[in-house]
A and B are shown apart, each in its own frame.
Chain A
Amino acid sequence: MLRAHGLACDRGDRRLFSAVDFSLAPGEWLQVEGANGAGKTSLLRMLAGLAPSADGHIEWDGQPVSNVRDEFHARLLYLGHAPAIKEDLSALENLQTAAAVAGRPLDEATALAALRRIGLKGREDLPARVLSQGQKRRVALARLLCSQARLWILDEPFVALDVAAVSQLCSILDEHLSRGGLLVFTSHQAVQLGGIGNTLRLGPDPDASRPRPTIAEVQA
């Protein structure tokens, strides 16, 4: 259970957003929308605990995240804008290192199976620098297949993926939700996912003194 109360983000003197409230139960997903520069990535970094919130607080299973940080991080998988791929390491080495750093070492067979499933068969041992942009994203997304984390926070997971990969990613996300996982992601495109979905729109409000994002419940 993830709850956010009155989150706000400041960039210099400007308040990007404020009074962001939402709650996310197991099996639910939240799509964060907004124009470029609306603060989507800032909100996701805040939720992951990478950046402090200017206001409000975040709760995980009823406890403030700051009190249960280690437990929260053990259950969290965050994929940011930068895919955390080392150009000089192979896809397999990248995946295994990332998993070990996240506290869940992978044996080679599991890692290879994940890479094949994500569409990188035959490219497991190539250095990441010779892979295309979309293939690098796939290496990063292979972490989802090996993850036991309950909460996934994904920043633009659909970017640079081809049509087949987009539908494959959707099915991976569906699987996660049907296992009772939680999902927060940003995307500019409309996404069809199972389970209960919410959309959070960040952006300037007509009432400029207190911009309040709207939450629309979308039943998918």
Chain B
Amino acid sequence: MNAFIAIVRRDLLLAARRKSEVFTALFFFMIVVSLFPLGIGPETAMLRRIAPGVLWVAALLAAMLSLNRLFAADHQDGTLEQMSLSPTPLALLVSGKVLAHWLTSGLPLVLLAPVLGLQFDLSPRALGVLMVSLLLGTPVLSLVGAIGAALTLGVRGGGVLLSLLVLPLYIPALIFGAGAVEADVAGLGAGGHLSLLGALLALGVFFAPWAATAALRIALE
């Protein structure tokens, strides 16, 4: 457990020393989301309809931006070898890395989303549902992304391959995440969608670190 905390602490410290990487993803999210109201025009009914999809797709793409660096630096400087030789199971250390990745790339999106949602004339209630859906969904993005990042480790042109590999796997999270907000706007309850997102998260927490670890072991050999 000490090693888990050390990994989370180290990755947060590294992110704090390289703030530009965190802010790049955040500004990307802000700009992509803000382009839609500007491009489509101030028709509130239309904006309200597209808001969940736009916000969620932008969140997917922003989460993708930092994924290919998740394991690449550790692989290059030998840290990954040391992690795999640790008495602590590698899957637990990988979970620590994923948690740190979510704290620096997912959580800021969750906090920023309601502000950006205002541009789409979403009601306070819908903004709340949007936040909850992102809170449940962005960890899934980090977890599934970690599998992709581990599989493409050391592959030339891995960044593009990573998006081709991971974006299709993000579809369930996108459908239920955006669906929750849509259902709420339409007056149906968001509970069902959010429960399914929660189920995805539970599955991801359980299986993704294990799958990513298996892929990392292949890359290390």
Contacts and interface: CB of A to CB of B under 8 A. Distances in A.
**A interacts with B:** yes
B211 interface: no
Contact of A97 (B6, B81, B84, B88): B6
A100 B87 contact: no
A101 B7 contact: yes
B7 A86 contact: no
B82 A102 contact: yes
Nearest to B80: A84
Q: Please report whether the interface of chain B is mostly helix, strand, loop or mixed according to DSSP.
A: helix
A101 B86 contact: yes
Given A97-B10, A103-B87, A52 B77 contact: no
B85 A88 contact: no
B92 to A, nearest CB: 11
B44 interface: no
The listed residue with most B CB atoms (<10 A of its CB), out of A49, A83, A102, A105, is: A102
Interface of A: 48-52, 70, 73-74, 76, 78, 80-89, 93, 96-98, 100-103, 105, 127
Interface of B: 2-3, 5-7, 9-10, 13-14, 17-18, 76-79, 81-88, 93, 220-221
A97 B81 CA distance: 14
B77 A84 contact: yes
A80 B75 CA distance: 12
Nearest to A83: B78
A73 B82 contact: no
Contact of B221 (A52, A73, A76, A78): A52
